[in-house]
Amino acid sequence: MLLAAASSVIAQRPMNTSICDYYTTALLKDNNATNQYTLLTLVVNTAVIGNYTKPNVGIAVPGILSPGIYNGTQVNLVGYFNGGLASSNTGGSMGVSKNFLDDGGASPLMMDKPANGTMSNQ
Protein backbone atom coordinates (compact mmCIF):
# COMPACT_ATOMS: atom_id res chain seq x y z
CA MET A 1 0.00 0.00 0.00
CA LEU A 2 1.03 3.58 -0.50
CA LEU A 3 1.17 4.57 3.13
CA ALA A 4 4.11 6.29 4.66
CA ALA A 5 5.36 4.58 7.76
CA ALA A 6 3.14 5.76 10.57
CA SER A 7 3.95 5.53 14.20
CA SER A 8 1.39 3.72 16.24
CA VAL A 9 0.90 6.72 18.47
CA ILE A 10 -0.72 9.77 16.96
CA ALA A 11 -0.68 13.00 18.91
CA GLN A 12 -3.85 14.86 19.83
CA ARG A 13 -5.42 16.71 16.94
CA PRO A 14 -5.30 20.52 17.18
CA MET A 15 -8.75 22.02 17.58
CA ASN A 16 -8.60 24.04 14.38
CA THR A 17 -7.65 21.06 12.20
CA SER A 18 -10.34 18.81 10.79
CA ILE A 19 -10.25 15.06 11.23
CA CYS A 20 -9.84 14.68 7.49
CA ASP A 21 -6.94 17.10 7.23
CA TYR A 22 -5.23 15.81 10.33
CA TYR A 23 -5.23 12.11 9.62
CA THR A 24 -4.48 12.49 5.94
CA THR A 25 -1.32 14.31 6.95
CA ALA A 26 -0.49 11.87 9.73
CA LEU A 27 -0.86 8.77 7.56
CA LEU A 28 -0.09 9.94 4.05
CA LYS A 29 2.06 13.06 4.58
CA ASP A 30 0.70 15.27 1.78
CA ASN A 31 -2.77 16.63 2.49
CA ASN A 32 -4.24 16.66 -1.01
CA ALA A 33 -7.51 15.46 -2.48
CA THR A 34 -6.05 12.18 -3.72
CA ASN A 35 -4.69 11.30 -0.31
CA GLN A 36 -7.89 12.34 1.42
CA TYR A 37 -9.77 9.98 -0.87
CA THR A 38 -7.25 7.24 -0.11
CA LEU A 39 -7.72 7.72 3.61
CA LEU A 40 -11.49 7.45 3.25
CA THR A 41 -11.12 4.36 1.09
CA LEU A 42 -8.94 2.69 3.69
CA VAL A 43 -11.33 3.44 6.53
CA VAL A 44 -14.49 2.55 4.62
CA ASN A 45 -13.11 -0.66 3.11
CA THR A 46 -11.79 -1.73 6.50
CA ALA A 47 -15.15 -0.99 8.08
CA VAL A 48 -16.85 -3.15 5.45
CA ILE A 49 -14.57 -6.19 5.20
CA GLY A 50 -12.36 -5.90 8.28
CA ASN A 51 -8.62 -5.36 8.60
CA TYR A 52 -6.77 -5.92 5.35
CA THR A 53 -3.89 -3.49 5.22
CA LYS A 54 -1.39 -1.41 7.17
CA PRO A 55 -1.01 0.38 9.38
CA ASN A 56 -2.92 -1.51 12.02
CA VAL A 57 -2.17 -0.37 15.51
CA GLY A 58 -3.51 -3.65 16.86
CA ILE A 59 -7.27 -3.28 16.70
CA ALA A 60 -9.26 -6.12 15.20
CA VAL A 61 -12.09 -5.04 12.93
CA PRO A 62 -14.53 -7.81 12.05
CA GLY A 63 -16.23 -5.66 9.43
CA ILE A 64 -19.81 -4.84 8.61
CA LEU A 65 -20.09 -7.90 6.39
CA SER A 66 -19.18 -10.22 9.26
CA PRO A 67 -21.84 -11.47 11.64
CA GLY A 68 -21.13 -10.30 15.14
CA ILE A 69 -22.51 -9.45 18.53
CA TYR A 70 -23.55 -5.99 19.68
CA ASN A 71 -24.73 -5.41 23.22
CA GLY A 72 -25.33 -9.11 23.60
CA THR A 73 -27.42 -9.34 20.43
CA GLN A 74 -26.45 -11.29 17.34
CA VAL A 75 -26.19 -9.03 14.31
CA ASN A 76 -25.80 -9.94 10.67
CA LEU A 77 -25.96 -7.14 8.11
CA VAL A 78 -24.89 -9.14 5.08
CA GLY A 79 -28.46 -9.41 3.78
CA TYR A 80 -28.51 -5.65 3.23
CA PHE A 81 -25.55 -5.92 0.88
CA ASN A 82 -26.00 -9.15 -1.07
CA GLY A 83 -29.61 -8.77 -2.11
CA GLY A 84 -30.88 -11.19 0.53
CA LEU A 85 -33.22 -8.52 1.87
CA ALA A 86 -35.52 -6.27 -0.17
CA SER A 87 -33.86 -3.34 1.53
CA SER A 88 -33.01 -0.90 -1.24
CA ASN A 89 -35.08 2.12 -2.15
CA THR A 90 -35.22 2.64 -5.89
CA GLY A 91 -38.08 5.07 -5.67
CA GLY A 92 -41.02 2.72 -5.48
CA SER A 93 -43.41 2.03 -2.66
CA MET A 94 -41.58 -1.08 -1.48
CA GLY A 95 -37.98 -2.02 -0.90
CA VAL A 96 -36.26 -4.04 -3.60
CA SER A 97 -33.44 -6.54 -3.57
CA LYS A 98 -30.11 -5.32 -4.95
CA ASN A 99 -26.81 -7.16 -4.72
CA PHE A 100 -24.14 -4.59 -3.96
CA LEU A 101 -21.44 -7.27 -3.94
CA ASP A 102 -21.91 -8.22 -7.57
CA ASP A 103 -18.52 -7.12 -8.88
CA GLY A 104 -15.75 -8.88 -7.01
CA GLY A 105 -17.02 -8.64 -3.46
CA ALA A 106 -14.19 -8.23 -0.97
CA SER A 107 -11.35 -8.80 -3.45
CA PRO A 108 -11.28 -5.34 -5.10
CA LEU A 109 -11.84 -3.74 -1.68
CA MET A 110 -8.65 -5.40 -0.50
CA MET A 111 -6.91 -3.61 -3.37
CA ASP A 112 -8.41 -0.29 -2.31
CA LYS A 113 -10.90 -0.39 -5.18
CA PRO A 114 -14.68 -0.29 -4.76
CA ALA A 115 -15.26 -2.91 -7.46
CA ASN A 116 -13.60 -4.70 -10.35
CA GLY A 117 -15.55 -2.70 -12.90
CA THR A 118 -17.47 0.53 -13.01
CA MET A 119 -20.95 -0.46 -14.18
CA SER A 120 -22.08 -2.77 -11.42
CA ASN A 121 -24.15 -2.25 -8.31
CA GLN A 122 -20.95 -2.61 -6.35
Partner 1 sequence: MGLDAMQMGYFIQQVGLAAASFGVTDDDVMAVGTTLTNAFDKRCAAATSIPPTADPALQAICIASNCPLADNATCSAYGNATMPAVANATLAGNSTTSGGSGSSGSGSGSSSDSGGSGSGSRSSSGSGSSSGSSTASGSSSSSTSSSDAVRNYGSVVAIVGAAALAFAL
Does position 34 bind partner 1 by CB under 8 A? no
Residue pair 103/116 in contact (Cβ under 8 Å)? The answer is yes
Does position 59 bind partner 1 by CB under 8 A? yes
Does position 16 bind partner 1 by CB under 8 A? no
Q: How many amino acids of this chain bind partner 1 (CB under 8 A)?
A: 71
Using CB under 8 A, which of 1, 29, 30, 56 touches partner 1? 56
CB atoms within 10 A of CB 49: 19
- The residues in 75-114 that bind partner 1, with binding defined as CB under 8 A, are 75-91, 93-100, 114
Single-letter amino acid, residue 116? N
C-alpha to C-alpha distance for 76 and 36, rounded to whole angstroms: 30
